[in-house]
Structure 1
Amino acid sequence: MTDGALLRRVIDAIAPDPRIGALAAGAHRYVAERLDRDPAAGEVRAGLDTLAGDAAQADLAARLADVEDTPWFRHLCRWVAEGLYADPGQGGNRGGMVWDALGYRHGLPEGPDGPPWRTPPPAQRPPADEGWDAVVVGAGAGGIVAATEMAERGFRVLLVEKGRHLSYRDSGRRDHLRNHRNAVYGTNTGPPAERDRRVAADGDGAAALVRPHEAGYADNAPCVGAGTFLYGGLAWRFHPDDFRMASRYGVPEGSSLADWPVDYDTLEPWYGRIEQAVGIAGPRGALPHEPYRSTDLPLPPVPRYRSARVLDAGAAALGIETFTPPLAVNTRRRDGRAACIECGSCVGFPCPVDAKNGTQNTLLPKALATGNLTLCTETTAERVETDDTGRVTGVRLAWLDDGALHRRTVASGIVVLCAGAIETARLLLLSASSREPDGLGNGTDLVGRNLQGHTYPLAFGRFEEDVATSRGPGPSIATTAWVHGNPGIIGGAMLADDFVMPPVMFWDTALPDDLPRWGAPPHRFMAECYRKVAHLRGPVQEIPTPVCRVTLEHAYRDHLGRPVARLQGVVHPETQRTAAFVCERAKDWLRAAGAGDVWGSPQAPRLSAHQHQAGTCRFGTDPQSSVADPYGRVWDHENLFVADGSLHPTNGAFNPVLTIMALALRTADHIARRFDGGMRVRDA
C-alpha cells in the first residue's frame, strides 16, 4: 500500500507552487483518485515504493531528480498538474483557486454550469417507410447543409447521424480533460471508447488499436452538428491559389498534388449564401486574400484585446497586413439566439449560450420546419445498397436499443455521404458488391487515398506585460501574408492568435521545452507567465500523398461486426518544410511585437487527419484520377454523391469548414436541379 505521508511529500516536491501549493489546492486528492483507477496506477505505486526507504531523507528532491525520466514519475507529475490546473470538478483546484491566481476567468453570467438544464431529445430511429427522395449520411457541416437545401426544395429527406443530439448541459459542459481540444481521458461527444476503435499505423507500418480520444484515431465529433457543435468557428474562404496548387507549384515527387475542378469564382456565390445563412462575423469588404466578394459578412467582428493590439504593432514593424478573422459566432443577438458572452472555453466545447453558429442550430431548425426532413440519431449507416446496374437503391441502417441490435434497409432515390473523410471512405469500401468488389467508386483504387488534415505549427512569445486574456473566443488578429508567394516553399498558412488556452492545456502545450515538468520552476512559470504569453498558429497547406489513406482492418470489428478503419501514412516532406517555414514566420512576428523569449516548433511528422480531415474521395474531371465529378457525384453512379471534406484534392491554408459548407450547398442545388423528387433524372 502506498505510504500516504510519502505521497504528500512527493506531491509537495513536484509542485511547491510559490503562491498556492499542490497540497493547498487539493491536488493530492486528485492524485489519490487516479491511483485508484488509472491504468498506470500500478506502475506509479511501484515507483513510489522504491522511495519508501528514503522517506526520512531530508532532501527528497535529490532523490526525485534521480527518477525524473522514469515513466512512473512522469505520470505522477502529469497527475499533479491536472489536480492543480484542470477544472475543480476533477477533484483538485479547490474552488478554482488556482485559476483565480493565474487570472483565468471561468465564471459565466448564468453561473458556473451555464444555462438551465434542458432534457435532450431521445434517440430518433428510422421510421418504417416506403422510400425517401434522399438519404443523407452524417449530420455535420456538409450533411445538414445538403439536407436543408433539398428539404427546402421539396425533397423528402432522411438525415442519418450515428451520434447523439446534444446540448451544452449533456455534453460534458467544460470538462478540461475530456473535450475535443484536450482529450486526455475522453471527449465530450463520444463515440464510446470501448465500442468504436480504429487502427493507426505509422510510417514504418507499426500499428496500434486506438480509442476515440487517443492519438491517431482522428475523432470528428460524432453528434448532430459534428465539428460545428464544438468548433471555434473560424470561417475562411480559400485563397484562389488554394484551388490550383499543382498548376502553381508543380507536383513534388511522391505526392499527389492536384488542382481542384472548381475555382474561387465558381464557389464565390456559394460562399456568400452560406455566410449569410449560418452567420459569420468579421470585417466588411473582401479580406486581403480574397480577390472580391459579392456580399459583406452579416455580423460585425469580434473585439480585439491586448494581445491583438501588441501583435498589430509587430505586424506593422514587419510590413504585413492584419485584420480580424471571420468567425461563425454571434457578435450580436441573431435569429433568437444570444450574442457571445466571451467565455474562456470556446473551441472544443459547446457554447453555454448557443452563440456559436453551427449547422445544428442555424440550418437544421429551418429544415425540420419544412416538414420534409426526418432526423434519425444514434443510428449507423452500415452500407450503401446498389442493384445489378450499379444504381443506388438505399442504405442499410443499424442501431442498438437496450443492447439489442436492429437493422433496416431504407429505400432512397438519392444517397449523399457526409460522414467525414474517414467514415465516408470506409462506408464506400464496406459497400462492396459483386459488380464492385473493392468498394463503391473504387475501380481505380482511389477511395481512401490522399487522406489529409492540417499540420499546425505553433509559436509562443513571452512579454513583460500582460498580453493574454481569458475572454474568448480568442482569435482576433490574423494575416494571410504567408499563405502563398514564399520563395522556395510550396503553399503556406494563414497565421492568427489562437483560442484561449485553459490552464491545463497551457501546461500541456505552452511550456518551453527546456523547462522541467516538476519542482518550482514550471509552476512559477505558470504563476508568472500565464497572462504574459501570446501564441500564433495556422493550418499549413498540406501536400497530399497516396500512401496516406483509409483502408479496412479485418482483424478488428466494431460493435456491428464491420471491419474498423485503418489509418496509415505520414505527411509529405514538403508539408514539414512548409510547417518549419511558417513556424519561423510566427516567431518573427512575436519578436517584432516585443516578445523577449520565443519558442515553438512544427509538429513531428505524422498523419495529421485529426485536424480537418479531408481528401479521401477527391473530386475532379477525370474518372481515372478522381472518385467523384465536379458536383460530388461518384463516377459511374448516377444517384450517389459525396458532400464533405472527402472531396478536397487539397485542403487549403485555412480552416476548411466554410468551403465544405459551400460545396455541399452547391451539390444539393445541383441535385435539386437534376432530379425530380429524387426518384428520376429530370429531362434535359
Structure 2
Amino acid sequence: MASPDIVIIGSGMGGATVAAGLAGSGAKVTILEKGERLLDSPETRDARAIFQRAHFRPKEMWLDAQSKPFNPGNYHVVGGNTKFYGAVLFRYRRQDFSELEFPGGGVSPAWPFPYEELEPWYSKAEQLYQVRGTTSEDPTEPFHSRDYPFKPVPDEPAIAKVRERLKSVGLHPASLPLGVDIDRWLARAKTPFDAYPDTLTGKMDAESCGLAAALEDPDIDLQTGADVVRLETDEKNRIASIVYRQKGEEKRLSPKLVILSAGAIRSATLLLSSADGRNPDGLANSSDQVGRNFMNHNATFMLAVDPRTVNDSVYQKTIHFNDFYFDDGNGSGPLGQVQLLGRVTGQILKSRLSAVPEFALNMLSRRSVDWYLVSEDLPRKESRVRLDGSQVILEWRFSNMKAHETLVARVKERMRAAGYPILLSQLVDGRLPSHQCGTTRIGNDPAGHVCDPWCRSFDHKNLFVVDAGFLPTSAAVNPSLTVAAQALRVADYIRRTELAS
C-alpha cells in the first residue's frame, strides 16, 4: 500500500474525531486500528455475558503499582473504549481551565488556553455526536454558542420521582448530556446503555459518528487488524515510518504526518517502546513526561436504597447534580460531580458479589437508585504508566482523596434527607482506567510537557498525539467530549498549517 499523507493510529474518540475533522481536506488519510468492528450478537445485550462472564473483555493483563496482575478493560475494537462508554458528553466547566485549589492543598494546574478557545469546538463536537441535553438546569453549565442539537433523553417515571426528591432537599438535578438515541437503543432490547457494547443500535460513539463522518470521504480509509509495533525516526528526528503487523505480515507506512490516538495508556507505551539511538528514553520524551501524570478519576459507586419505593427503570441514566462541584456550601472548596449510573441489576451486582444469590441481589436492585460520584484526580509525575519489557505497568497513585471523601459524606447526607436510609458505597480501585487521561499532556513548556497546545510533539514536528493523554487536568466530568472538541480543533489547525499549500 502506498504511504498516505497522514496516518492516524487508533479509531477511538480522538482518532475518529480528528479523522472527521480532516474529511474533505484533500489529504490521503489511513486509520490503523488494532481491532475489528464489533458485530451484533446475543451477548451484546446479555448482562450475564458482559458483567459475569466478561465476554468482551480483552485477554491482556497489566500490572498495578503492587505488581499484581489485572485485566484492564482496555478495548481493542473499531471505536475503541467508546463502544462501551456511558455516552455522557460533558463539557469541562469554564473554571476547570484555570488553576483550582482543593481541600487538603492539592492544586489542579491551569490549561495553556481558556475555555473560550475550546468553546466553538465543543459546539461542533456536540453536533457531530448528536448530544441530547439542555443548558437551563445546571448552574455550573458554561456558555454555549449553540444549543444542543436534541432535547434531553427523558426521565423514566421512577427517575422523574428521584429528580423531585433531590429538589426537595435543595439539590439542583439536571439532565445528563447524552449521546444516545434512546428509542433506537430500546428497540434492539430493553437494557441499559452504560457499559453495554454498541453495535450501531443507538449509541453515538466514535464509530457511529466520528468514523462514519470521516469515511464518507473516499480519501480516508480504515485498516483493521493493524497492530502498530513501533515508530521509527529519521536523521532530522521526524517520524519516518510506522511499523505494524496485519494478518501475520509486517508492514510499513511513511506518511508526512502521524497522529497517535491509541488512548492515554497505549499511546504512551508505544512512544516508550519506540526508543532509539536519538531518543533513548522513548519518542517525544526529552521532558521525561511520557507516561507520567496519569489521571483517571476518584470515583465511588453508591446504591441509595429506599425499602418503600420500587425502581422499575430500564436505563435510568438521565440525571446528575453539580451542587458540590466548586463549593460544598461549607467552605470546603471543590469536591466533584454526581451522576446516575446505568441501571445496576442483580445480574450486574452478581459480578462483584458472587457469593450472594442473584434473586437476593435483584430484590436489592429493585429498591435502589445507583449513583456514580466523581472527583478530580490531580496530575503527579509519580502517577504513571511504564513498561517492563513488553509488560504494561500502571502505577496510579490516588490524589485529592480528602475532597472525594468529603463529597461522599455530603452526598450521603443529602440522600438520607431525601428518604434513602440505606446507602451502600464502594470506592473504585485503581485497576479500572475507564476515564484514563494524562501521560502526554499539552502545555507551553517543552521541559515539562510532551506536546504543545495543538497536540504537536515538541520533539518530532510531524507527530501529533490526539487522545485523552493530552489532557492537562482530569476535571470531575467524563472526558470524551473534551477529547472530541480538541480533536476537531487540532484537525482544523492541521488543515490550516500543514495542508494549506
CA distance in 2, matches of 1:156, 1:442: 28
Q: What value does the CA root-mean-square deviation take over the aligned residues?
A: 2.5
Instruction: Quote the residue 1:243 is aligned against.
Output: 97
From 464, 468, 486, the equivalent of 1:645 is: 468
TM-score, normalising length: structure 2: 0.93
From 168, 177, 192, the equivalent of 2:40 is: 168
Task: Point out where structure 1 has 5 or more consecutive residues left out of the alignment.
Answer: 1-127, 333-337, 555-562
Aligned CA distance change for structure 1 residues 265 and 228 (closer, same or farther; 3 Å): same
Instruction: Quote the residue 1:580 is aligned against.
Output: 405
From 55, 60, 78, the equivalent of 1:224 is: 78
Instruction: Quote the residue 1:558 is aligned against.
Output: none
Instruction: Quote the residue 1:50 is aligned against.
Output: none
Secondary structure at the aligned position of 1:633 is classed as coil
CA distance in 2, matches of 1:490, 1:552: 37
* Cα pair 2:345 2:362 within 8 Å, conserved: no
- Relative contact order higher in (CA < 8 Å, ≥ 6 apart): 2
Residue 489 of structure 2 is aligned to residue 662 of structure 1: no
Secondary structure at the aligned position of 2:64 is classed as strand
Instruction: Quote the residue 2:22 is aligned against.
Output: 150
CA distance in 2, matches of 1:441, 1:462: 49
Deviation at 1:326, TM superposition (A): 0.7
Q: Aligned partner of 1:208: which letter?
A: K
1:209-234 deviation digits (Å, cap 9, x = unpaired):
44xxx3xx3x3221111122222201
Secondary structure at the aligned position of 1:344 is classed as coil
Instruction: Quote the residue 1:618 is aligned against.
Output: 441
1:297-354 deviation digits (Å, cap 9, x = unpaired):
111211212443333233223322121111001256xxxxx46547224222224661
CA distance in 1, matches of 2:293, 2:302: 28
Matches within 5 A, 1:279-318: 279-283=130-134, 285=136, 287-318=138-169
CA distance in 2, matches of 1:223, 1:162: 7
Matches within 5 A, 1:116-131: 128-129=1-2, 131=3
From 524, 538, 549, the equivalent of 2:373 is: 538
Instruction: Quote the residue 1:107 is aligned against.
Output: none
Aligned CA distance change for structure 1 residues 544 and 530 (closer, same or farther; 3 Å): same
Deviation at 1:584, TM superposition (A): 1.8
Aligned CA distance change for structure 1 residues 655 and 293 (closer, same or farther; 3 Å): same
Secondary structure at the aligned position of 1:539 is classed as strand
Q: Aligned partner of 1:349: which letter?
A: Y
Aligned CA distance change for structure 1 residues 488 and 396 (closer, same or farther; 3 Å): farther
Moved >6 Å (runs of 4+): 250-253
From 290, 293, 296, the equivalent of 1:450 is: 293
Deviates more, 1:369-378 or 1:308-317: 308-317
Larger radius of gyration: 1
Aligned CA distance change for structure 1 residues 585 and 458 (closer, same or farther; 3 Å): farther
Q: Aligned partner of 1:459: which letter?
A: M
Secondary structure at the aligned position of 1:457 is classed as strand
From 64, 69, 85, the equivalent of 1:200 is: 64
Secondary structure at the aligned position of 1:426 is classed as helix
CA distance in 2, matches of 1:380, 1:542: 31
* Cα pair 2:103 2:332 within 8 Å, conserved: no
Aligned CA distance change for structure 1 residues 287 and 594 (closer, same or farther; 3 Å): closer
Instruction: Quote the residue 1:350 is aligned against.
Output: 197
CA distance in 2, matches of 1:272, 1:329: 17
CA distance in 2, matches of 1:307, 1:456: 25
CA distance in 1, matches of 2:122, 2:167: 30
Instruction: Quote the residue 1:366 is aligned against.
Output: 213
* Cα pair 1:455 1:608 within 8 Å, conserved: no
Percent identical among aligned pairs is: 28
CA distance in 2, matches of 1:642, 1:252: 33
From 410, 419, 422, the equivalent of 1:594 is: 419
CA distance in 2, matches of 1:434, 1:320: 58
Aligned CA distance change for structure 1 residues 550 and 464 (closer, same or farther; 3 Å): closer
* Cα pair 2:6 2:258 within 8 Å, conserved: yes
Aligned CA distance change for structure 1 residues 351 and 469 (closer, same or farther; 3 Å): farther
> How many residues were matched structurally?
499
* Cα pair 1:311 1:589 within 8 Å, conserved: no
* Cα pair 1:178 1:187 within 8 Å, conserved: yes
Aligned CA distance change for structure 1 residues 262 and 252 (closer, same or farther; 3 Å): farther
Residue 348 of structure 2 is aligned to residue 505 of structure 1: yes
TM-score, normalising length: structure 1: 0.69
CA distance in 2, matches of 1:160, 1:352: 20
Secondary structure at the aligned position of 2:44 is classed as coil
* Cα pair 1:256 1:450 within 8 Å, conserved: no
Instruction: Quote the residue 2:269 is aligned against.
Output: 426
Secondary structure at the aligned position of 1:641 is classed as strand
Secondary structure at the aligned position of 2:174 is classed as coil
Residue 406 of structure 2 is aligned to residue 567 of structure 1: no
Deviation at 1:187, TM superposition (A): 4.2
Deviation at 1:581, TM superposition (A): 1.5
Deviation at 1:461, TM superposition (A): 2.1
Instruction: Quote the residue 1:20 is aligned against.
Output: none
1:244-282 deviation digits (Å, cap 9, x = unpaired):
2xx2317977x7842211221111110100111111111
Q: Aligned partner of 2:395: which letter?
A: Q
CA distance in 2, matches of 1:652, 1:275: 19
CA distance in 1, matches of 2:102, 2:307: 45
